[in-house]
Amino acid sequence: DAGVTQSPTHLIKTRGQHVTLRCSPISGHKSVSWYQQVLGQGPQFIFQYYEKEERGRGNFPDRFSARQFPNYSSELNVNALLLGDSALYLCASSYRDRPTDTQYFGPGTRLTVL
Amino acid sequence: KQEVTQIPAALSVPEGENLVLNCSFTDSAIYNLQWFRQDPGKGLTSLLLIQSSQREQTSGRLNASLDKSSGRSTLYIAASQPGDSATYLCAVWSGSSNTGKLIFGQGTTLQVKP
């Protein structure tokens, strides 16, 4: 079975630009979460979606937005990029939105903002 | 506010040694605790998930324990191998039963020398 997939693998943008990151969950999983991992730190929660509804949002500015599609895939959008947005962006999927369900992470998208 | 701390930040051991990684959290009201492995520049691989009602979980050479009352978890790795070299992250589920997020520690970077 395919795991969580993310695209693109790497991305280089300049300040002020916009970026869209994509995530496909494990087949049958309905919950997708997004995390930002700055070098040397643990991942920080950005969003959780379940059944196409936003279930949680971390302490990130409104420049960050996301959505989940009917096939449960998800997009993370970041507007007006800043140098500090450079990070590894991780997507995680789980069967439901319950803490009893293991979170499975994708390989991440490495975003570099110049 | 839940905070997760991992000590030590880095660890270097000779092959074959048994070792313990530590994780502490400030709020004992957690739903579960999960241990992950991360190879350089890669995503997270789930190792063990301990529900709040459980005391430990085992998988192969790995054993994780959870003591909610003291806010601590340990990951025990038996007979370490060079292939175990990676960063190990612990995370607690913070929130409610149907919405929440993982809060991560900063990780322990393990090097196992041949």
User: What average pLDDT does the structure give for chain B?
Assistant: 93
Q: According to the model, what pLDDT value does residue A94 have? A: 92
> CA angle at residue B21 from B15 to B24, to 5 degrees?
175
Q: According to the model, what pLDDT value does residue A2 have? A: 80
Q: According to the model, what pLDDT value does residue B1 have? A: 86
Q: According to the model, what pLDDT value does residue A1 have? A: 60
Per-residue pLDDT tens digits for A36-94: 999 989 999 999 999 999 988 999 999 999 999 999 999 999 999 999 999 999 999 99
Rg from Cα positions in chain B: 14
Q: According to the model, what pLDDT value does residue B41 have? A: 83
Q: According to the model, what pLDDT value does residue B19 have? A: 95
CB atoms within 10 A of CB B9: 12
Residue B50 at interface with chain A, using a CB cutoff of 8 Å: no
Contact A45 B101 (CB under 8 A): yes
Asked if A101 contacts A33 with a C-beta cutoff of 8 angstroms, the reply is no
DSSP B16-80: T--EEEEEEES----SEEEEEEE-TTS-EEEEEEEETT-SEEEETTEEEEEETTTTEEEEEE-S-
Give the phi and the psi of residue B84 in degrees, each rounded to 5.
Answer: -80, -5
Query: Is the Cα dihedral A102, A76, A48, A89 positive or negative?
Result: positive
**Residue numbers in A near B5 (CB within 8 A):** none
Please name the residue of chain A whose CA is at the shortest distance from the CA of residue B9.
Answer: A40
Range 42-71 of A in CB contact (< 8 A) with B? 42-45, 48, 50, 55-56, 58
Q: What's the average model confidence in pLDDT over B64-93? A: 96
Per-residue pLDDT tens digits for B51-64: 889 999 999 999 99
Q: According to the model, what pLDDT value does residue A103 have? A: 87
Q: What's the average model confidence in pLDDT over A11-27? A: 97
Whether the bond into A8 is cis, omega within 30 of 0? yes
pLDDT at A99 over 90: no
**Residue numbers in A near B102 (CB within 8 A):** 33, 35, 43, 45, 92, 103
Asked if B86 contacts B77 with a C-beta cutoff of 8 angstroms, the reply is no
Of the spans A4-18, A43-57, A84-98, B31-45, which averages the highest pLDDT? Answer: A4-18
Please name the residue of chain B whose CA is at the shortest distance from the CA of residue A89.
Answer: B43
Residue bearing the bigger pLDDT, A31 or B100: A31
pLDDT at B97 over 80: no
Could you tell me what percent of chain B has a pLDDT over 90? 81
Q: How far apart are CA A91 and CA B64, in angstroms?
A: 24
